[in-house]
Amino acid sequence: MSVEPMRDSSLGTAFFPAVRQQQPVPERIRALSTMTDPGYVDLFTMSGGLPGSSATQWARALFEEVAGREGQFIWRVLLGLRLTASPDRVAGWRIADRRDDWIRLEARSWFLTGHLVVQADDEQVSLATFVRYDRPVASRIWPPLAKKHRQFAPDLLRDAHRHISQARTDRPGTARADE
């Protein structure tokens, strides 16, 4: 996932929205996942949300547009997640619950369960990942992938920011019907 500098038209300079990993994960974010006893939880928050963008728009940008085929390979092949392509899903993940400012996606494989929570407002966007080890093998498969996940998450958020910003420039005033 490449990251190209964004341009601040008022300054004419390149900048990257600030992304930080938050530990511990705040209870207000943990409460958005119904998962009991996750074996892994992380949270990345990017400052500089985009006013008027819903959490669903962010999730589609993150997982359909930016993660794309690479994400599908990781989710379907390496993690064995059972994803189903459908307009009422996000990148094959089931929409388990959502409000205007957050969405929870869920998927399972034969050895683990994953929840992705995207929370978005005008000030920031957060991506939380929850993984429950349903079989002992998950504790050997997920940790090496989690290391890569933590490396890619900041760029994923920045690229989604760029994607949404570009879509607004290309098609001002348009949005998906489900958002």
143-177 pLDDT, tens digit per residue, is 999 999 999 999 999 999 999 988 877 765 545 44
Q: What is the CATH topology of the domain spanning 18-170?
A: Alpha-D-Glucose-1,6-Bisphosphate; Chain A, domain 4 (3.30.530)
How crowded is residue 77: how many other Cβ atoms within 10 Å of its Cβ?
9
Q: How far is CA 139 from the centre of its chain?
A: 22
What's the rounded mean pLDDT across residues 71-98? 96
Backbone φ and ψ for 152, nearest 5 degrees, come out as: -85, -25
C-alpha–C-alpha distance, residues 81 and 132, integer Å = 13
What's the rounded mean pLDDT across residues 88-112? 97
- Whether the CB-CB separation of 6 and 161 falls below 8 Å is answered with yes
Residues facing residue 116 across a β-bridge? 105, 129
3-class secondary-structure state, position 21 = strand
Per domain, the residue ranges of the chain are: 18-170
**pTM listed for this prediction:** 0.85
15-73 pLDDT, tens digit per residue, is 567 899 999 999 999 999 999 999 999 999 999 878 888 999 999 999 999 999 999 99
pLDDT at 7 over 50: no
116-126 pLDDT, tens digit per residue, is 999 999 889 99
